[in-house]
Structure 1
Amino acid sequence: MHPAAHSLYPELDATALGAFAAALESGETAGLPPARAAEAEAVRAVAVFGRGKVTGADGDLLDAALWRHTGSGPRPAVVMPAPWTDLGWPVYAVQAARFATRGYDVLAYSPRGFAASEGHADFAGPLDVTDGRHALDHLLERAAGPVTRIGLLGVSYGAGIAQLVAAHDARVDAVAALSGWGDLGEVLRENSTRRTAAAHALLTASPRARLSEPTQRALENVLAHRAVHETLAWAEQRSPFTLVKELGRRRVPVFYAHAWHETLFPANQVLRMFQELDGPKRIDLSIGDHGGPEMTGLPGLPNRIWTDAHRWFDHHLCGADNGIDAEGQVLSEVMWSHALEPSPAWPVPTRRVRRLHLTGTGELADAPDPGWAAGVLCGVGTPVTVADAIARSGYAELAGRPRPYPDAAAMDRTATAVWTAAPTSATTRLRGTPRLRVTYRAANSGSTFVAYLLDLAPDGSARLITHAPSSDLDAPPDSLITADIDLQATAYDLPPGHRAMLALTARDPFYADANLPRATLSFTSPEPTPSYVELPLG
């Protein structure tokens, strides 16, 4: 039995979005706020809005809306598959209308199995790809004049579908993928660790969705630790990373937006996809969690993610000389200053990588210190965790309230192994992907630990910088295991007087735990393979 469902988009006002869509159709704007009423009237002055059905794969009808210009002149077009929500295409009502007022024909639709669309959710599988291609057909058949170039834009689930359709259909000229994924296998299993909280959220976040049997089975397999190879094969078919060479061969321009502390689709797998793309590309990395950075733009509030998505399509679909191609491939929002840093590429340039060794005194030091042991008890809760809940904790981060760890300096050392660096004398700029090498001994053949890099303040409180889980499922019992893992990428300023803190635990509720209850993981640093953390310094 799963806990109660919760939305991945708690800030969405479905009533307001529905009222705006109704006003687009009827012209009755009296019940809308003045700004929304003016926007609806502006759309109706240049385009015809109508609801309809797209005939998808196997004849299933997909709920859709079309913003169509009546003039016979050529114009660009945008297709927008909706995210993983029971609301469906009305999520895009305001942003689609804005594309329409800028001269685009727009089709927004609810993917199969969601909202009023028929069929069963295929999790961006072959049926969803076929549906997306049929959505392109639907728009092209109804356009009053020639369609010059086509963009696909999606948020979350829609972002995954948009990338996959673009890889399969040469008619797609540009993509905007907001809070999506690149490698679905890594979303479900990170460093051999099952990401059970993410799988659970996908199963429960849209309670009225009708999941296909393979989709339901794959997500339940993650929770139940079964059919690993079957599930990864299912995920590979639904991973844009599998088709990255096709996108690169056609040099499809791709715009990404993602959150540093993304708990549903972690950032590193998207960054890996981003690095492999050969065509024009840009990524915006923000404070927050899943869907949060672009959320305020959905109801129409000012939002830099949506502004740049429009600029991306204006440039690559309409030829607008708006400068977005000259602003660098990467824009990073720094925690917690909110400063925006452009960079020409990913990885961002670093001044140097500082290697800090784990020592027997609990310090992070410049020199190795072999021979010590630090044990943590398995199966017990610890005060340090990734977040309070999938997606929701990110809204507090966006408001400037990152999750506090008030007594981090006094963590229970029976369940948490902790190392701290010397206080910084000046602001330390962490930019990129921290890396951890650690050796430990596990009592059984399956083991899991979670590593957290924290910012420890002089008052003993801490904030999470980044983290990553790691599991070993094959080593013989009581053997030494050396784990080399990337923590999730970050852009973080460690203030003067603060310390970098590394914490290792055997359990976090966001991940499956392969340890035996009440067993011990004994971390150490053998002379041939010293344990250390590497910090990329900007």
Structure 2
Amino acid sequence: MTPASSSRPGSSRPDSSGFSGSSGAPAPASLYPELDATTLGAFVTALESGDLTGLAPARAAEVAEARSVTVFTRGKVTGADGDRLDAALWRHTGAGPRPVIVMPSPWTDLGWLTYAVQATLFAARGYDVLAYSTRGFAASEGQVDVAGPLDVADGSRALDHLIERASGPVTKIGFLGDSYGSGISQLVAAHDTRVDAVVALSSWGDLGEAFYENSTRHVAAVRALLGAAAKARLSPQTQSVFDNVLGNRDILGTLQWAEIRSPFSHIKELNRRQLPVYFAHAWHETLFPANQTLKMFNELTGPKRLALSIGDHSGPEMTGMLGLPNRIWTDAHRWFDHHLRGIDNGIADEGQVLSEVMWNKTLEPRPTWHSLTERVHRLHLAGGGELTEEPEAGWTAGVLCGVDTPATVADAVVTSGYAEIAGRPKVYPTADIDRTVAAVWASAPAEDTTRLRGTPRLRVTYRAANPSSTFVAYLLDLAPDGTAHLVTHAPYTDLDSAPDSLISADIDLQATAYDVPPGHRLMLVIDARDPFYGDANLPRATLSFTSPETTPSYVDLPLG
């Protein structure tokens, strides 16, 4: 995909947060920077022609195997309102019964081409496969509906198209999507009872929480989505919603818009049918933070599996899209083989959760999400900047609003996650964090490895002179040399308290699996400015943090 800057309204103008596409961390032109349209196009051309010239040996073998058992064609699916959706079909010629897979495309102008390699691998394993470009993207007609009713109807129409062209009876039906396509896949499954299993990679459960985490606007995420959709055709409603998030307008309207686009809103139907769902997610996801997907995962009562990995949005599964060995895609194949083909491959007995530990990359299976946490250790915020075993009252720590610090979520949406996957996570110079701007607390050095497993929880009390306030809390792994790595974080915004009143904030930090080495300390940093988030503070105002005897401030650490 050729990089392109966004010229859409609202995609580059600054908002009240001061963050824009032309300053700070710019929105990327693609959420899939590792994918190359020319290479994928050559792969598809070989599928059509059989000419393997120029393909890597592994890709050539995949094309040859698929062509020996399937016929590949490009075409159009008639979607909702008669809009024609660009699609590709891998169809077996034998008349025997077989399962089928529908793959709605991610949020990219590559459209269905993103899935070219993986769809081919599924086809070679015995599936009929239809991949299509979602409305408004690539060569598909219509306007981007953001997993709305038109997208749900499109998914069912795509399934109709595939079934009509199958050469034999269809036995079972799966929907698979990455990112945007994963949300659509879940929603189609909730509305179309023909769907038997879902694979949802880098997905969302509650879109409202992804846009407004703890009432805090995810402005960098929205700018990234706009940047990646620079060539797409957004519906007026979609454009309006994105503009409203950036401009801090009509929060209630946005949440109502997001509710019907959230699989969590339809979980009763998924549970009624005990639909099997496989999720894969990144710990440091900046578009759809993990906790809102975890909420969805934990409420599902049917067969389910969750893989949590180092990195950011779509990064952990990217090598599989390129055709390289990838455990997430391997398990996606195993998930469908078990639930659509009835193969006893052991995946049902391996536990519901597989987490990759930062930064040693150990893979830890667990029977359930809640089993990750064996006990909770509480550390209290004290007046001398320590995290202590006992509460301490009577202190205050000021945080100056409107000033950024070296404590930030990441350097850039999506792309910073690739550095994490490569073993080069962002280094935070903690000595450069101005203590007159931010509040900082640190624990005693750990005697042994501290195994954080689960969802840390923060309770803090603070006073704001203004009617609205925002802060961001970061939990860091502090090395003896003063450098640190990010363990987890969360923003918080209060929009309702009276000026100069005490505000008690109880928030979940994003879930984590992190090993803090011996001799390292945990550091909690709270500041009032991060370019990833909208900011409800007035410039140069002060937030005064404290710890009353009746409601002490603390952080609960989940230990495994």
- The whole-number CA distance in structure 2 between the counterparts of 1:21 and 1:147 is 25
Name the residue aligned to 1:529: 551
For the residue of structure 2 that corresponds to 1:297, the secondary structure is: helix
Shift of 1:205: 1.1
Shift of 1:411: 2.1
Q: Of 519, 523, 528, which aligns to 1:501? A: 523
In structure 2, distance between residues paired with 1:181 and 1:101: 29
Once the 2 structures are TM-superposed, how far is the Cα of residue 13 of structure 1 from its aligned partner?
1.5
**Could you tell me which amino acid in structure 2 is paired with residue 258 of structure 1?**
H
> 1:299 & 1:308 partners in 2: Cα distance?
16
CA distance in 2: counterparts of 1:331 and 1:167, whole angstroms: 25
* Match of residue 516, structure 1, among 517, 538, 557: 538
Counterpart of 1:93? 116
Q: Is the 8 A contact 2:456 2:509 kept in 1?
A: yes
Q: Give the secondary-structure state (helix, strand or coil) at the position aligned to 1:172.
A: coil
Using the alignment, how far apart are the partners of 1:242 and 1:411 within structure 2? 41
Q: Secondary structure at the match of 2:225?
A: helix
Matched residue, 1:124: 147
Offset, 1:35: 1.6
Q: Paired residue for 2:102, among 79, 96, 111? A: 79
Q: For residues 279-428 of structure 1, what are the structure 2 equivalents within 5 Å?
A: 279-405=302-428, 407-428=429-450
Of 194-203 and 485-494, more deviation after overlay is shown by 194-203
Task: Give 1:210's aligned residue.
Answer: 233
State whether structure 2 residue 306 is matched by structure 1 residue 259.
no
When the two chains are superposed, the root-mean-square deviation of aligned CA atoms in Å is 0.8
The answer to whether the aligner puts 1:115 opposite 2:142 as a matched pair is no
Q: Does 1:491 find its partner at 2:513? A: yes
CA contact (8 A) 1:409 1:456 kept: no
Equivalent residues of 1:56, 1:130 under 8 A apart: yes
Q: Which residue of the partner structure matches residue 180 of structure 2? A: 157
| Aligned partner (choices 40, 48, 68) of residue 91 of structure 2 | 68
Equivalence for 1:480: 502
Partner of 2:246: 223
What is the alpha-carbon distance in structure 1 between the residues aligned to residue 225 and residue 372 of structure 2?
Answer: 35
How far apart are 1:90 and its partner, in Å? 0.7
One-letter code of the match for 2:390?
Answer: A
Q: Partners in 2 of 1:468 and 1:350 — Cα distance?
A: 19
**Equivalent AA in structure 2 for residue 260 of structure 1:** W
Q: Are the aligned partners of 1:358 and 1:531 in contact in 2 as well (CA < 8 Å)? A: yes
- CA-to-partner distance for each residue in 1:46-82, whole Å, 9 max, x for gaps? 0000000000000000000000001000001000001
Question: Do the aligned residues in 1 keep the contact of 2:476 with 2:524 (CA within 8 Å)?
Answer: yes
Output the CA distance in 2 between the equivalents of 1:397 and 1:479: 40
Corresponding residue SS for 1:221? helix
Amino acid at match of 1:318: R
CA distance in 2, matches of 1:408, 1:81: 43
Cα shift readout 1:393-423 (whole Å, capped 9, x = no counterpart): 0000000000001x31452101110000000
CA distance in 2, matches of 1:442, 1:265: 29
Q: In the alignment, what sits opposite 1:23?
A: 46
Give the Cα separation in 1 of the matches to 2:371 and 2:443: 24
Hey, what does 1:269 align to over in structure 2? 292
For 2:94 and 2:292, the matched residues in 1 are separated by 43
Q: Alignment partner of 2:119: what SS?
A: helix
Q: Which amino acid aligns with 1:479?
A: S
Counterpart among 482, 490, 495 of residue 460 in structure 1: 482
**Deviation per residue, 1:470-527 (Å, 9 max, x gap):** 0001111111100000000000000000001100000100000100100101000011
- In structure 1, the partner of 2:65 is 42
Aligned-pair CA distance for 1:299: 1.3
For the 8 Å contact 2:196–2:276, the answer to whether it is kept is yes
Between the aligned partners of 2:434 and 2:529, the Cα distance in structure 1 is 14
For 2:43, the aligned partner's letter is F
Alignment of 1:116-195 (within 5 A): 116-195=139-218
Provide the C-alpha distance between the structure 1 equivalents of 2:247 and 2:144, rounded to a whole number of angstroms: 21
| 2:335 partner amino acid | W
Maintained 8 Å contact 1:184/1:235: yes
Looking at structure 1, the residues matched to 421 and 249 of structure 2 have their Cα atoms a distance apart, in angstroms, of 37
User: For residue 89 of structure 1, what is the amino acid of its counterpart?
Assistant: W
SS at match of 2:370: coil
Residue 27 (structure 1) shift: 1.2
- SS of 1:234 mapped into structure 2: helix
Counterpart residue number, 2:467? 445
8 Å contact 2:406–2:432 — kept in the other structure? no
Q: Distance in 1 between the 2:527 and 2:29 partners?
A: 27
What residue is the counterpart of 2:126 in the other structure? 103
Alpha-carbon separation, structure 1, partners of 2:123 and 2:311? 29
Using the size of structure 2 for normalisation, the TM-score is 0.95
Code of the residue aligned with 1:380 in structure 2: it is V
Q: Which amino acid aligns with 2:61?
A: A
For residues 367-393 of structure 1, the C-alpha deviation after alignment (integer angstroms, 9 at most, x for no partner) is 110110000110011011000111010
Normalised to the residue count of structure 1, the TM-score between the two structures is 0.99
Q: What do the CA deviations read for 1:13-36 (whole angstroms, capped 9, x no partner)?
A: 111111101110111111212221
Q: 1:355·1:366 contact (CA, 8 Å) conserved in 2?
A: yes
Q: Sequence identity of aligned pairs in percent? A: 72
CA distance in 2, matches of 1:162, 1:535: 35
* 1:348–1:431 contact (8 Å) kept in structure 2: no
2:453 to 425, 428, 431: 431
Does the 8 Å CA contact 1:294/1:305 hold for their aligned counterparts?
A: yes
Letter in 1 for 2:362: A
- In structure 2, the residue corresponding to 1:31 is in which secondary structure? coil
Q: Identify which range, 220-229 or 331-340, moves more after superposition.
A: 220-229
Which digits, 9 at most, give the CA deviation of each residue in 1:339-368, with x for residues without a partner? Answer: 000000012332310110000011000111
CA distance in 1, matches of 2:234, 2:271: 31
Residues matched between the structures, number: 537
Tell me how far apart the structure 1 counterparts of residues 312 and 477 of structure 2 sit (CA, whole Å): 19
Structure 2's unaligned 5+ residue stretches are 1-10, 13-20, 23-27
Of 29-38 and 67-76, deviating more is: 29-38
